[in-house]
Structure formats: structure tokens, C-alpha cells
Amino acid sequence: MTVDGGLHAGKSSAWFVYLILCGDGSLYTGITTDVERRLFEHQQGMPRGARYLRGRGPLQVVYRMAAGNRSQASVLECRIKRLPKHEKQRLIAGELELLL
């Protein structure tokens, strides 16, 4: 039984896969339930932010896709990470579509 105001109240259960464009032109792929919060963590160099992104600013989210649950987001993340950079750029431009 789910009760409003319970332990999971206010938390989004939707997961997203996202791509960040770094100041050096590289692309970073990740998953989260809150893309804006995650970008902030990366930008601030917080302990939970990715080490890869430290010192690579400015950072800009250039792609996000709803992925359902964590498992589906992880599968999409893995598929995107395997793409060559030019294919990732096609994905960002909307010329390539990934299906769940």
C-alpha cells in the first residue's frame, strides 16, 4: 500500500539518460532521476559529481531522454557510451533515435 507523504513522496521514479558537452568538446554520458540537480553536482565539483568532469567546464546538458526505470536507463547509457562521437553528435542533433 502506498501512502501519500510516505518515504518516497515527492521523489521522481522516472530515470533519464543525459549527455553533457564539456568545455574541451568531449561528451559525458550519465543517468539520473533529476538532470538539473545532477548537472549542478557536476558543475560544483561535489563529491558525488563525476571526476571526469572536474576542470572540463563549462558544462552544458545537450541531450536527455526519459528512460523509464534505472535498469532501462543503464542499458541506454551503455549503448550511448559505445557509440562513436560522430554518432553521439547525430543523437544530439535528432538525426539518430534510440529505442528502449
pLDDT in tens, 51-95: 999 999 999 999 999 999 999 999 999 999 999 999 999 999 999
pLDDT greater than 60 at residue 6: no
Domain 15-93 has CATH 3.30.360.10: no
What is the pLDDT, as a whole number, of residue 11? 55
Alpha helices by DSSP H, listed for 1-100, are 35-43, 70-82, 85-93
Mean pLDDT score of the chain: 89
User: What is the predicted pLDDT for the residue at 12?
Assistant: 54
> Which carries the bigger pLDDT value, residue 60 or residue 7?
60
